Amino acid sequence: MSLKNRNIANAKRQVSKVNLSGNAIGKKVSLSNVDAGDITKITNLMVDVIRRQRRLWRKEINDWQAARYAYYQSEIPRFFPMQEVYDDIMLDGHLTAVTEDRTLRTINEDYIFSIDGIKDDKLTALIEDQEWFDYTLEEAHKTTYKGEGLLWIKDFEKGNIKEVEMIDRGLLVPGQKILLYDINGNKGLDVSEVDDILLYAKFYSNIGILEKAAVYTILKRHSWGSWDEFEELFGVPIRIAKVASQSETVKNEVAGWLEEMGSAPYGVFPLGTEIDIKENSKSDSFNVFYMKIQALDKELSKLILHQTMTTENGASKAQGNVHENTLEEVIKSDKKKMLSFLNKRLVPAMRKLGYSIPDNAKITIEKTKDPEKQIKIDSQLMTNGYILKQQYVEEVYGVEIETMPSSQTPPPTKPDNAKKH
């Protein structure tokens, strides 16, 4: 081998290549040591990486306004800034509680396959106690808050879905079913015709209900911060030490003792030192912040749950019933949307992925009976001469019956005590 060929071979062996694949769909970036001088390629890689880093600083009203501007712009709307705002405001405890309350009331049902209104146990086993199905229910309902989304059936084999994942909404062009290669790019994939491995979900508006909740949450955070400053200024009485000595050494030493006291109720000071404690006389000033936080929590409850008494103390049982009925109507609507999504999106996709599901089969919610309410109905039926089956009694009331009476007769009536002796 000539010297020239040996040098070329050595140069090839010295090239170390690293493949990097980011979140951008279909976009792979590779760098090697021979690209060290390619400023454009390196810059594009770094910008792409930086853009995908989640920014954790606290979002303010101006961030919310900028995110809305990016979302509603006419050319290519951007969803990524608004999703960052949503991730930030969901750190609020009350907002987390009310959103999870609404979601859990919707998904904590027994979703089953039924044919002509009758439960099919074999088909139900395809979704019962399946992690991917529970994830699909939860993420589909969260589109109520975070806006439209695409659920990606990430891993599957014929007749068996293994994993489902929600695609980052920052890559979704709002209202167009286009996935961007890059969150700030202009090119993307049209996924409107993909109906087997991509499930489109939208339970509210395209942007989600958190667009309205963001302002309340940000203002509430301001009140918490102001309350904290108020506590520092006026929550702890101010202690003032008066010393007769003009020596800076003595003053600094007494100041150090005051600092070391902390919350201790005592201190040892030199003779002639006078300690004066200034307490805050306005004990109800904190109500300015407390009442504002309470008001904002109520607004969040009204926005998400359409009422407040399931999260706050109710004034009366009658009012509580009204509020509970209002929430039930909201949940009823969510359940209808969920069943529509499951039967129009998920079930057709399952068929295309190899599941043997008849055309007349659909997902429904199994009707469960409340024993306390049902016992009143059953008692009335038995009084009128109807006979209940052993299997029905065991399923409804959760008891095991060894034998049933040969006949069920209404209980004997009380003797007439109206006769006078």
The confidence score (pLDDT) of residue 279 equals: 62
Q: How far apart are CA 290 and CA 275, in angstroms?
A: 33
**Alpha-carbon separation of residue 279 from 10, 87, 234, 239 (angstroms):** 80, 41, 8, 9
Q: How far apart are CA 394 and CA 262, in angstroms?
A: 65
360 — pLDDT class (breaks 50, 70, 90):
very high
Q: pLDDT digit string (tens) for 375-406?
A: 888 888 888 888 888 877 777 777 788 777 76
Q: Is the pLDDT of residue 413 over 60?
A: no
Higher pLDDT pick, 100 / 278: 100
Q: Find out whether 98 and 301 touch, Cβ atoms under 8 Å.
A: yes
Instruction: Look at the block and give the residue holding tokens 């951007």.
Output: 78
Q: How far apart are CA 178 and CA 247, in angstroms?
A: 75
Q: Hey, is 130 helix, strand or coil?
A: coil
Percent of the chain with pLDDT over 90: 42
DSSP string for residues in 169-218: GGGEETTTTEEESSTT-S-EEE-TT--SSEEEE-SS-SS-THHHHHHHHH
The confidence score (pLDDT) of residue 47 equals: 57
Q: pLDDT digit string (tens) for 173-225?
A: 998 889 988 877 788 889 988 889 999 999 999 999 999 999 999 999 988 88
Residue 355: CB atoms within 10 Å:
17
Amino acid letter, 210: L
Q: pLDDT digit string (tens) for 310-319?
A: 666 655 566 6
The confidence score (pLDDT) of residue 165 equals: 94
Instruction: Look at the block and give the residue holding tokens 């010393």.
Output: 243
